[in-house]
């Protein structure tokens, strides 16, 4: 009687470890993307830098507004051993101050002088 309970606890622990791993991968990917965006890299290169660390199938959102670059990584994580279980949404974002001269994607130019 104790064996099924032990298997259930082990499964839950493995699922928690997989979720934490996906969260850490999203954080690393968001940081890498934010650093690339803050340097003024093109959007394709920012997404490529973030995709290197992001979990498979992750969505990557890049925005530069004012003096801040922000990258958000989101993914739906589903256990390999339980395809009937609902997916869990994991998301992480990172921001970095942009280097001088980086183009503002909010529609203003750096010469406008508007904060």
Residue 21: its pLDDT value, please? 93
- Please report which confidence band the pLDDT of residue 112 belongs to, taking 50, 70 and 90 as the band edges: very low
Bridge partners of 107, per DSSP, are none
Q: The domain containing residue 95 runs over which residues?
A: 2-112
Indicate the pTM of the whole model. 0.78
Task: Give the integer Cα–Cα distance in Å for 22 and 54.
Answer: 8
CB 73 within 8 A of CB 89: no
Query: Percent of the chain at pLDDT above 90?
Result: 51
**Residue spans of beta strands (DSSP E) within the chain:** 59-65, 68-77, 88-97
49-87: pLDDT as tens digits: 999 999 999 999 999 888 899 999 999 998 877 777 788
Contact 70/30 with Cβ under 8 angstroms? no
Of residues 9 and 66, which shows the higher confidence score? 9
Decide: 77 and 35 in contact? Cβ < 8 Å. no
- Number of folded domains that form the chain: 1
């Amino acid at each position: 009687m104790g064996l099924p309970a032990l298997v259930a606890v082990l499964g839950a622990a493995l699922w928690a470890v997989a979720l934490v791993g996906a969260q850490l991968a999203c954080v690393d990917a968001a940081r890498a993307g934010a650093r690339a965006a803050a340097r003024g890299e093109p959007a394709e290169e920012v997404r490529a830098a973030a995709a290197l660390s992001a979990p498979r199938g992750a969505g990557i959102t890049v925005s530069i507004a004012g003096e801040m670059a922000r990258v958000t990584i989101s993914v739906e994580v589903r256990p390999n051993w339980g395809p009937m279980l609902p997916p869990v949404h994991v998301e992480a974002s990172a921001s970095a101050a942009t280097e001088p001269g980086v183009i503002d994607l909010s529609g203003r130019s750096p010469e406008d002088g508007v904060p």
